[in-house]
Structure formats: C-alpha cells, structure tokens
Structure 1
Amino acid sequence: MDAPDKKEFIFGSIFLLANRLQVLGDRWDSDITMKQWFLIVMIAQFKESPPTLSEVAEFMGSSRQNVKQLALKLQKRNFLCIEKDAKDSRALRLLLTEECQEFFLKRQEREQAFLAELYKGISETRLNEVYQGIYQLGENVFEMDEKSKGGKRI
C-alpha cells in the first residue's frame, strides 16, 4: 500500500483522532461524556450572556435536536439550566450552574495531567505549528460552511 498523500492523511486522521479521543475521554471520566463536556465548553465560550440553544448548535456545527438532548441530560444532573428567553419565549437559553463550575474545578489537576500525557514528546515549536495549522483549517472549514449555506458547491 502506498503512503497516503499528506492532505488525505491529515483529513482522515482528524476523524480517527476525534473518535479515539471521544472513547478515551468517556473512559477517563464516567461522570460526564465527552459530548456533554464539549457542550459545556461551547456554552462557556459565550461570555456576554447565556447563549440560546440555537446559537450553541450553530457554533458547534450540530443539530438543535442533538444539543437539546445533551442539554436535557445535563439539566437533570444540575449542570445547566434551560430557561425561556425573556424577550422571545420560543428561544431557550442555556446557563451553566455553580454545581457545574465546582465539578470542573475539582477535576482541574486531573485534566492538566491528561493534557500533559496527551502532548508528551511534542516540542513547543511543533505544538505552535500544529496550532497554526488547525487554526487555519478551522477558518477554511468555517468559510466553506458559509459558502455551502448559500447553496454554493465547493
């Protein structure tokens, strides 16, 4: 079998790593799934005001229904509150709870150890290169996504 093209290798590896990291993360902490963790991280990115369900779904690149299912599970665990928007009763806002913040504070050292092991053997120079490459890939994906919403083929 011939060595894959670098671009094809990277493209396939992104999916492989995403799947393996999800399995590893789900094993690492049985109290929260990686998908639930990711939703919490995405909600936390909205600094100004609690985001709506639709805003988070769009930000994550996920369906509103999938985000709502995750949010309902996290609400049952008292990690977030789902509230109707004061101005638009159709919109649902997602608010992280104090219990959620305490949960993440308690596991902070363990998370740092996980990341240290994940990135072991990778120099600062290589880490910066990977960061820049992934950042640019993210920009390209966002741009391609916007074009595809307008019905344009890429």
Structure 2
Amino acid sequence: MDRNQLLEGMDNERILFGLFFVFGNRLQAAGDSFYDEITCKQFFLLICLSLFQDEEPTVNQLAEVMGSSHQNVKQIINKLEEKGFLITVSDQTDKRKMRIKQTNKMNDLKVKYEKQEMAFMKHLYSGLTPQQIADTVQVIKMMENNLIKIKENKE
C-alpha cells in the first residue's frame, strides 16, 4: 500500500503537518549526500551567515535567522570551525559577544559546488511555476509567524 492510499480520508491540515516532517527528512538526506565536507544543516548555517552583509553575526543572531536554539547553532559552529570554514572573533565593542566570520575555505566550497547547487535547485523546483513558488513562500511565512506566536504564548 502506498502512502497516498494511507492518507485517504485524512484532512489536508494533518497531511500538510506530516509532509513538513517528511520534506525535512528528505531534504536533509539529499543535502547530506550532496556535500563531501559538510552536512546539510552545516550548509544551511553557511547560507544564513552569508545573509549578514554589514557585520558578522553573533550566535544569537544566527540562531534567530535559522529558527533554531543558541545551543544547536553553537554546536554547528564548533564543527564548522574545526573544519576551517569559519572562525569566531570577539566583538570590537562588547568582548562578551562572539561574532562568526567566514574563511576563504568557505568561499572555496561555494565555488566547488556552485554548478551542482544550481542543478539541484532546478530539479527541486521542477514543474513549479514562479507564482506557485511565490505563493508557497507566503504561506510558509504565515505559518512560521503562527508558530512564533504559539511559542510566545507558551512562555
């Protein structure tokens, strides 16, 4: 019996809830097999790090962008630092803050996988129109905001 048959009769909200987990698992498995040097979660951190153009982010800033805990992000940072992809440096004005900085090795990694990443993205979004992608982004942003509100109400 295939999964679609198992899901018959279930409401779409529950199906979508489950599909988020399935999608996350499949995305992580695909990403982990994609890179020789790093995991998919480590690559995601590097993408988030590249979003900060004006100054290197702190661990807390990266955690916020990634939607993850300080502790989980710190573990990923430590592994990437061991591998030489980034370094932590003290903040110029507040020595208690540690800022995360890319190394040249990270730039080399970007160059190495650039064509493969483009092909991966093309395959991932195959069959989807730009409008479908834009609509999906908006829906997921709204759902993320709902999750943030749920968490805030629990605290």
Q: CA deviation at 1:59?
A: 2.8
Aligned position for 2:30 = 24
CA gap of 1:63–1:131, structure 2 versus 1, over 3 A, is closer
Q: CA deviation at 1:71?
A: 0.9
Q: CA RMSD in A?
A: 1.8
SS at match of 2:78: helix
Code of the aligned partner of 2:39? T
Q: CA deviation at 1:25?
A: 0.8
Percent pairwise identity: 34
CA gap of 1:73–1:122, structure 2 versus 1, over 3 A, is same
Which segments of structure 1 move beyond 6 Å, counting only runs of 4 or more?
none
> Structure 2 CA distance, aligned partners of 1:142 and 1:105?
35
Equivalent residues in 2 for 1:1-154, closer than 5 Å? 2-148=8-154, 151=155
Q: CA deviation at 1:114?
A: 0.6
Code of the aligned partner of 1:60? M
1:72-99 CA deviation, whole Å, 9 max, x = no partner?
1111222111112222222111011222
Gaps of 5+ in 2: 1-5
Q: CA deviation at 1:109?
A: 1.2
> Structure 2 CA distance, aligned partners of 1:137 and 1:63?
19
Q: CA deviation at 1:8?
A: 1.3
TM-score (normalised: structure 2): 0.84
CA gap of 1:125–1:86, structure 2 versus 1, over 3 A, is closer
1:88-118 CA deviation, whole Å, 9 max, x = no partner?
2221110112221221122111101011111
